[in-house]
Amino acid sequence: MAEVNTWDTEFEFALEIVKKVGEIIKNAFLRDKVVTEKSSATDLVTETDQEVERVLIKGLENKFPNYRFIGEESVAGGLKCELTHDPTWVIDPIDGTTNFVHSNPHICTILAFMVEQEVEFSIVYNPILDQLWTARRGKGAFYNGAKIQVSSCKSLGSAILVQEVGSATPDRVNMLTTNSTTFIPRVRSIRSYGSAGINLVYLAMGSVDAYFEMGFHIWDYAGPSLIVREAGGVVQDVSGSKIDYLARNILAASTPELIEQIRPNISTITMERD
């Protein structure tokens, strides 16, 4: 029987290059940034985002010339977001760009490697706080080299729930208002870190207990969702079905019991697929 590809070479090289671009981010963190609005005043890109993505793609392409890419800034620049069955790097150069612009340290680079439309491994790296989360399918999740697991929280009343504001379109404002009214009285507390990647890896290490979001993209949540699963958490579509990496939504929690208390009460909006 043929040996199963464990993607060791890809993982080790990816770790090396993510740490390399971390130096670019650190060097730019406290400096004035050149900022451009994309779709709105809350959807930002900096020259550092673009530089980091270029360095990542160039390095990965030189090493693995036959693999595909989905990059946040490449898609913003007009390339199609197309997820095939081929080996694919999914890149968010700086998740939490608004935080980065304001020198808020809750940011991360997200690099996911997908094959047959499933995440084989994921790297989430916050170079400002020197925080590294990794996961490989079937091999557990790790924070700075130590194995992590989700909390044991089963009660909504004992849970810390993560919610994000994001872009303030009228339908999104209405959804957020409804969800706030629904969940604030029912949970222990609500947090908002400004980065989907940070939200999910904090869930994976037990720092928060649940998170749902609508309106982001594959590069925000495909990689970190593997880290949550490998840490023992539950990740679904907000409808309760299997997560769809192009549907732009997620419901994640530490336990199935928590999922069942959250899902029926979520106010949702219909998002255009990636």
Start-to-end C-alpha separation, the chain: 38
Contact 57, 20 (CB under 8 A): no
Can you name the residues that pair with 112 across neighbouring β-strands? Answer: 90, 122
Q: Which of 53, 73, 95, 213 is flagged as catalytic?
A: 95
Other beta carbons within 10 angstroms of residue 260's beta carbon come to 14
| Active-site residue, 95 included | yes
| Active-site residue, 82 included | no
Q: Compute the distance between CA of residue 107 and CA of residue 178 in angstroms, rounded to an integer.
A: 27
| Active-site residue, 171 included | no
Q: Which of 10, 49, 53, 92 is flagged as catalytic?
A: 92
In the sheet that 234-236 helps form, which strands lie side by side, from edge to edge?
Answer: 189-191, 160-162, 210-214, 249-253, 234-236
Of 79, 94, 84, residue with least CA distance to 114: 84
Q: Which of 53, 72, 73, 209 is flagged as catalytic?
A: 72
| Active-site residue, 92 included | yes
Using left for φ > 0, alpha for ψ between -120 and 50, and beta otherwise, residue 78 falls in: left
| Active-site residue, 274 included | no
Q: Which of 220, 230, 262, 274 is flagged as catalytic?
A: 220
Q: Which of 88, 97, 109, 255 is flagged as catalytic?
A: 97
| Active-site residue, 268 included | no
Q: Which of 94, 198, 227, 250 is flagged as catalytic?
A: 94
Q: Which residues are catalytic?
A: 72, 92, 94-95, 97, 220
